[in-house]
């Protein structure tokens, strides 16, 4: 087992927090870019309605959903000792959820649902991810200053 451990890409827990924040930020940006691409094909009046609805949806998802996940994950990471595998910035069971979400996103993008309606969902989740990633980044900088 020791031979395998020496090949693990281990990093300090502080950088696990940074990595989690970067991943959430990048996925959020990707989702918003997709949504804005879809909304660019919609008339101006409707574009603002769909984007505004997505924004409201994002605030709800961020506050009532993602912040709890972030806090739980931060607590788990901050309790770690020493260097850990760089992929442990999420718990193992979360990777199954990520696979499921990616598959659902693919199914939705290829469904008959009009893209402007999907844009609401994509803006909501994307912006909520970006807003929630700020907590990871804030804790990262707090931890860096402490050490």
Query: Is the pLDDT at 120 greater than 60, yes or no?
Result: yes
For residue 116, being part of any structural domain is answered with yes
Does residue 104 belong to any structural domain of this protein? yes
Distance CA 63, CA 97 (A): 20
Residue 112's pLDDT band, with cuts at 50, 70 and 90, is very high
Each residue of 54-76: pLDDT tens digit?
Answer: 999 999 999 999 999 999 999 99
pLDDT digits (tens, 9 = 90+) for 25-53: 999 999 999 999 999 999 888 999 999 99
Residue 4 domain flag: no
Number of separate domains in the chain:
1
- Look up the pTM and report it: 0.90
Strand partners, 132: none
Show the domain range for 114: 11-146
């Amino acid at each position: 087992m020791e031979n395998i451990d020496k090949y693990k890409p281990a990093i300090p827990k502080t950088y696990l927090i940074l990595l989690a924040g970067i991943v959430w930020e990048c996925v959020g940006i990707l989702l918003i870019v997709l949504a804005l691409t879809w909304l660019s094909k919609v008339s101006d009046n409707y574009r603002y309605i769909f984007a505004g609805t997505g924004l409201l949806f994002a605030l709800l998802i961020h506050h009532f959903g993602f912040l709890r996940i972030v806090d739980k994950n931060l607590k788990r990471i901050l309790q770690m000792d020493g260097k850990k595998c760089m992929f442990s910035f999420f718990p193992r069971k979360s990777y199954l959820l990520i696979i499921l979400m990616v598959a659902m996103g693919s199914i939705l993008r290829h469904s008959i649902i009009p893209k402007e309606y999907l844009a609401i969902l994509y803006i909501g989740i994307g912006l909520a991810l970006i807003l929630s990633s700020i907590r990871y980044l804030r804790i990262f900088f707090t931890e860096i200053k402490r050490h």
